[in-house]
Chains A and B, each alone.
Chain A
Amino acid sequence: MARDMSDIDILKMELQQLQKEVKNEREPVSKTAKELVDWVEANSAEDILLKGVPEDKNPFKEKGGCIIT
């Protein structure tokens, strides 16, 4: 547990972790950012908070009164 470890122990843990991470495989941002954008575009149509929902299909619509015509 982090609280029970001395500063030195925490640093050593950090060092071991950094050694591992330096070797991780990475892809260029130009490729991965494009994939993020593509994913959003593919799913935007179903995103109700983005597109809005007609009042009659809205489960949270205002609890209504009556309209007298």
Chain B
Amino acid sequence: MLRGSSAVAIDNERNKHPSDVIAAASAARARRSGRVGLATASRSTSDPHPAEMATHELHPNDTLTTLKMESENLKAKLEEERAKLHDVELHQVAEKIEALGQFVMKTRRTLKGHGNKVLCMDWCKDKRRIVSSSQDGKVIVWDAFTTNKEHAVTMPCTWVMACAYAPSGCAVACGGLDNKCSVYPLSLDKNENLAAKKKSVAMHTNYLSACSFTNSDMQILTSSGDGTCALWDVESGQLLQSFHGHGADVLCLDLAPSETGNTFVSGGCDKKANVWDMRSGQCIQSFETHESDINSVRYYPSGDAFASGSDDATCRLYDLRADREVAIYSKESIIFGASSVDFSLSGRLLFGGYNDYTINVWDVLKGNRVSILFGHENRVSTLRVSPDGTAFCSGSWDHTLRVSEEEGI
């Protein structure tokens, strides 16, 4: 596996989705923004470029090749700047701390009830309720202690790829192939039809891949197969901010822990992980070291780093203040993609759900694997540690969810 910084090849590939719907308005907007000139591009680097053009006015022959070369040079320059500060490896700094022994993880609860692949799950802040969504079009709210189903909603579409619990615990959000994110208030009355109170909040032009409430029930952040992320007001359905920068489907997002300010990270099919300023809509930092789609991103508990899981069979750690990748979690024996990652409370452990049906647990600081959990009978598609860090829940294409812990002391 590659370690450290490396020259990044330009990849202009975009995934085409069979159900691609092009909105005329957004296409026009893209064409208008393309006319912002690149007059300053040639002055941003100090090294002379062999084929550099003196100016970059929009010109019919201003080809893909020139721009690609420009981009390649800038990326090399960026890597150069990052490498200057790469004076030590994370695992070297971590040498002085005690190694972890091998862990044994045990499944404590199995939640059965979905009729098809589980695609997403989220914990309620009360540390016992879980919402999950499935290819069968259903969204279920469970009590993880008792395994009882408390609510069930049937969505108008199949492949409900995203779901999230509201911070208050009084609502859930979900969406998928319907290109929307809808919010369902949870009723205490078991007989009430939840679908009747449904509120459509977000509208994308392609599938919804992930959603998350911000620190209140009032705003939702979404990511989509249309290549964008967006922030919405739940009450009015109004678009508050949109985030453009990915060159292909955005597959995942995670909000920074509230103490560290208004940022979030997203990962996509363009192999990039982008860190965004929620207020301005600007991309602050971008990382492109994965070799394939990034399926999952999750902030380190302190907010100073984030982890990613990818179809390239690795998980990686990116340090936001050093502005670089600082660890790769991989083994030659792991050849299937990582679909979902999450940290334990202290950030010492990284849990990764993989397409080979297993969950691998990594020592974040030293880089070695400390545990492997078997049990799912198909891909692990989603994984989250509980809010108080006592357990983690995994959802799978085998239709079940499992709540697991470290086997007692």
Contacts and interface: CB of A to CB of B under 8 A. Distances in A.
B344 A9 contact: no
A39 to B, nearest CB: 4
Contacts of A32: 304, 319, 321-322, 326
A49 B390 contact: yes
Interface string B11-48: 01010010010110011001101101010110011000
A29 B85 contact: yes
Contacts of B319: 29, 32-33, 36
Majority SS at the chain B contact face: loop
B184 to A, nearest CB: 26
Interface centre among A3, A21, A43 (most CB of B within 10 A): A3
A48 B228 contact: no
Contacts of B30: 1, 4-6, 9
B254 to A, nearest CB: 17
Contact of B36 (A1, A2, A12): A12
B346 interface: yes
How many residues of A sit at the interface, in one of the four size bands? 35 or more
B205 interface: yes
Interface in A4-22: 4-22
Interface string B117-151: 00000000001100000000000000011000000
A4 B225 CA distance: 12
B391 A60 contact: yes
A21 B304 contact: no
Choose among A4, A8, A27 the residue with the greatest number of B CB atoms under 10 Å from its CB. Answer: A4
B227 A28 contact: no
Contact of A49 (B14, B74, B145, B345): B345
Contacts of A24: 284-285, 323
B239 interface: no
Interface residues of B, number: 93
Contacts of A21: 78, 285-286
A2 B50 CA distance: 30
B344 A50 contact: yes
Contacts of A18: 71, 74-75, 78
A52 B371 CA distance: 14
Interface string A25-69: 011111111111101110110111111111100111110000000
Interface of A (DSSP majority class): helix
Nearest to B67: A11
B97 interface: yes
Contacts of B349: 47, 49-50
B324 A29 contact: yes
Interface in B300-351: 300-302, 304-305, 319, 321-324, 326, 344-349
Interface in B368-409: 385, 388-392, 403, 405-409
B227 A29 contact: no
B211 to A, nearest CB: 17
Given A29-B90, A43-B345, A22 B78 contact: yes
A33 B322 CA distance: 9
Contacts of A29: 85-90, 93, 319, 322, 324, 326
A10 B364 CA distance: 34
A10 B247 contact: yes
Given A2-B246, A22-B45, A26-B323, 19 more contacts: A5-B30, A8-B62, A8-B67, A11-B12, A12-B36, A26-B324, A29-B88, A29-B324, A33-B94, A33-B322, A36-B305, A39-B301, A44-B346, A44-B348, A47-B344, A48-B405, A50-B348, A52-B409, A53-B405
30 contacts: A1-B30, A1-B226, A1-B228, A2-B247, A3-B227, A4-B23, A8-B34, A10-B14, A11-B12, A11-B68, A13-B247, A18-B75, A24-B284, A24-B323, A26-B82, A29-B322, A32-B321, A35-B302, A36-B90, A39-B302, A40-B348, A46-B345, A46-B389, A47-B389, A48-B345, A48-B390, A52-B407, A53-B405, A58-B405, A59-B128
